[in-house]
Structure 1
Amino acid sequence: MAFKHGKNTVFKIDDSGGGSLTDVSQYIDNVSGLPGEKALAEVTAFGDSGTRNIPGLFNATVEVSGHWDPTASTGPDAIFNALFEEETSTASFEYGPGGSTTGAVKYSGECWVSNYTITSAVAEKVSFSASIQVDGVVTRGTFA
């Protein structure tokens, strides 16, 4: 069996300038939502003994959260906030749940940051969370 530990997870997203992926793994402690879901359209008809469906559109929302860092141009606040405010173009992303070594599984695609939230509590670290809506479909491949 080829089990993997979550500590090796890699998440990269376009920087605020666009065009180059920035590894933000050092700030993130949770990624969920990939590869996504596929809508099913019901096509059950009279005489069927059970519900029947046909596949429809693909949809994925990626949730990331972690440690907030306001460092200009490299911290998650600079990157995710800029992408949250972006209104004209999508950002690329790469997600490697088992790391980014050659041959490791990679999920990638284009996305919009649809939500960016900073949370602070008196007895806790300052955290952030972001919702990333995939634009189109997610591609499953491997790191080269």
Structure 2
Amino acid sequence: MTEIEYKDIHEFKKEDLQDLFLSVEWSSGHFPEKLQIAMRNFETVISAWDGDKLVGMICAMDDGIMTAYIHYLLVMSDYQDKGIGKELVYRVKEIYNDYLRIVVVGYDEEVGFYESCGFEKAEDASPLFITDLWT
């Protein structure tokens, strides 16, 4: 592994997005054209590259002044536990350091990682989802 390069870009090849998302078994990877559009629409996208290989990314949206939401944070499994995810979170925290809060919905197995990045689990809140809009 060469040194990881971090980029603030919004244009990606669909194959790169597909490879990254499917590498962590995220169903979004089956819709690379939609992912390309989503990346263009996010306020913040920071990607991690090993040479010309997309190995991680974080995407956030915000209201412009108070709250930012981390929507995607993913790192290819071969590159996990190397500090890439923490570096991506750090860079988002730097961008939004004047905001009142940064929100992320983490699955149970991810809570420890997010806590190590400074997030606190809410005791009085639960994430809610609608994932199948057409049923």
State whether TM-score is above 0.5. Answer: no
Higher relative contact order (CA 8 A, sep 6+): 1
TM-score by length of 2: 0.27
TM-score (norm 1): 0.26
Task: Work out which of the two has the higher radius of gyration on C-alpha atoms and give 1 or 2.
Answer: 1
More helix per residue: 2
